[in-house]
Amino acid sequence: MEIRAFENNISTLLGKDLLKGASHLYAGSEAVAVGAIAAIREGDLVTSTHRGHGHAHAHGDTAAKTPAAKQEHYNKMMAEVLGKSGGYCKGKGGSMHIADVDHGNLGATGIVGGNIPVAVGAALVQKLKHTDKVVLCFFGDGASNTGNFHESLNMASLWDLPVVFVVENNLYAMSVPWAKASKLPNVADRACAYGIPGEVVDGMDVLAVRGGVEKAVARARAGQGPSIVEAKTYRYFGHSHSDPRAYRTREEEQAYKDRDPIIVLSEEMKAVGLLSEDEFEAMNQQVKGKLKDAMAYSEASPAPDPSEVSTDVFAPSIFTVKDVEAEAELRAKVKADGGMRQISYAEAIQEALREEMTRDADVFIMGEDVGLYGGAYGATRNLFQEFGEWRVIDTPISEATIGGAAVGAAMAGMRPVAEIMYVDFTPLCMDQIANQGAKNRYMFGGKTSVPMVVRTEGGAGRAIAAHHSQSLESLWTHFPGIYVVMPSTPYDVKGLLKAAIRDNNPVMFIEHKMLYKNKGPVPETEYLIPLGVADVKRSGKDLTMVTYSRQVLNCLAAAEELAREGIDAEVIDLRSLVPLDSETIVNSVKKTGRFVGVTEAYENTSFINEVMAVVNEKAFDWLDAPMQRVAAANVPVPRAEVLEDMAIPNVKRIMAACRKVMS
């Protein structure tokens, strides 16, 4: 009844134009949320959808133990939908992104099917930690036709994860009827393809829903894996407020309203003496009172302060000024060498992973061929033998769910290191990492952190053509909420990877395939490199070269050649693209007066363009010549070596740009 009153009130506000934005109303489907959440217990987790008011309300009401706490929950729900600072997410999430992570509601998503891989990751944590908790994953019939659905069900069934997939089949994916979306009559019929149970229940009957979900929850809690429970239900309102509902008939709508879950349940209770008419009316009045109080709270709650716009994007840094100074001292010793041991870039990665997994049992690796095979480039070799199959987890080829499961695992308390074999494949998991992982902290008002690392590799040089040779870092630097790191040396890759694993933000950690065999000095003692600190790899006074990853080596080689011509070039290795160490760049340009940016990414919208914008904004008056950039050609990376060499920066091209800026 409270959910219905809430939704009817939102509809009224929308109709009077008193509520901005989209709200996808849950009225008609209340039996699903109430029945399903009645089947779980305190400590269990929930993921939700864009039509998630009912899930959030039922879960929060169940978690609240006193009348005052229940009213507070109702208040925060209303305030969040209205975009007020007193809402669950401080007004940053709104209707489609309500979360209460502290009580196990991992949040709703505006991406259809976007929460399904997240639920898999949260369930994986329960398996790895040997808890008896269960994850309840709500989604609609439309989501069952997404790749996320199929990848996630396969992975969950493969690993016997404690997750229950609750399908709210309200007959339409926005306007497309189920019959035009699938040959099968039921979503639950797909369960057999994944070797798990599937059951269809009457989604207009709260007791039927509870009964079906109870069986699935008991099975999951007993370690027997996931199930699908498909609840056939209906939404009384359209997909959104502007929906004319021309795709369905008035007769169909009335037929479902005749089976209204609130009326049917109340009549059944009256028939057996469990509810009187007076008690039912008293409940109605109580709900009206709660709604009135929630509206009063929301109206009194101020809009977010404008300064809030830039808060909660990232979790606070774990590093101090002293940490930065200590790493600078260590770096100087490494550069001085002094007989320090030499290990390869790949060995440095292995050491970083081994040390962090030994130090923290919450760190685990997952990805394609990371186990016995040791990773496509050997970076996880021998870790499977040391830590076992549930700390170094081989996955199916399912990039979207690898990424999404990492998000869910991170939100549920662990520190996943997910490997995507090539950066060229990261667009396959972009929704999960960019829309869920990178945004969840902000959307949920800073109430969660997503401490995860995505290890991948990119770049050209092996003549393996366009789909395995790109540098796509600028895709990832574009999204707020995710760090991007691209190390160039064994020392850097070890210290930065350890720091990334300990950081409380998502980190896209991009290695270069041509660096794995390169050797360099690496301390045997433990160290971390704070994210967001560039390294001046070579000091100079005449011009500043800014670069990262493999191109650091080319820039250093070019600088040595230029020195023979009397040009003293400074080479800055960004190491971290996000956070960007603007201070080091600007100070160098103010000293030299000239700038050359070098990147292996395509010239169009490459990250080096952003660096040039920073220089233009902060050091323009110190420039003695127009800035120059050296980037990959705007062509797919070709297979033929002679063409590949032409497509990417080399020492000769870098030197030419430096000479031009000096002239």
- Complete edge-to-edge strand list for the sheet that includes strand 363-367: 392-394, 363-367, 415-419, 453-458, 507-512, 483-485, 576-578
Contact of 407 with 117, CB cutoff 8 Å: yes
Q: Is the peptide bond before 579 cis (omega within 30 degrees of 0)?
A: yes
Look up tokens 């308390």; give the residue: 413
292's CB contacts (< 8 A; 6+ apart) are none
DSSP string, 408-430: HHHHTT-EEEEE-S-GGGGGGGH
Q: Which residues are catalytic?
A: 468
Look up tokens 């292995």; give the residue: 350
DSSP state of 237: S
Contact of 116 with 404, CB cutoff 8 Å: yes
Report the distance separating Cα 17 and Cα 11, nearest Å: 10
> Could you give phi then psi for residue 489, rounded to 5 degrees?
-130, 160
Helix (H) or strand (E) holding 595, with range, is: strand 595-602
Contact of 212 with 201, CB cutoff 8 Å: yes
Report the distance separating Cα 265 and Cα 422, nearest Å: 54
379's CB contacts (< 8 A; 6+ apart) are 346, 349, 350, 353, 419, 455, 511, 516
11's CB contacts (< 8 A; 6+ apart) are 25, 27, 237, 241
CA 18-24-27 angle, to 5 degrees, is 100
Residue 653 has a CB neighbour count (10 Å cut-off) of 16
SS3 breakdown of the chain: % helix, strand, coil, rounded to 5? 45, 15, 40
170's CB contacts (< 8 A; 6+ apart) are 28, 29, 140, 141, 203, 233, 234, 235
* 227-232/198-202 β-pairing: parallel
Report the distance separating Cα 149 and Cα 144, nearest Å: 5
Residue of 460, 412, 431 whose CA lies nearest to 644: 460
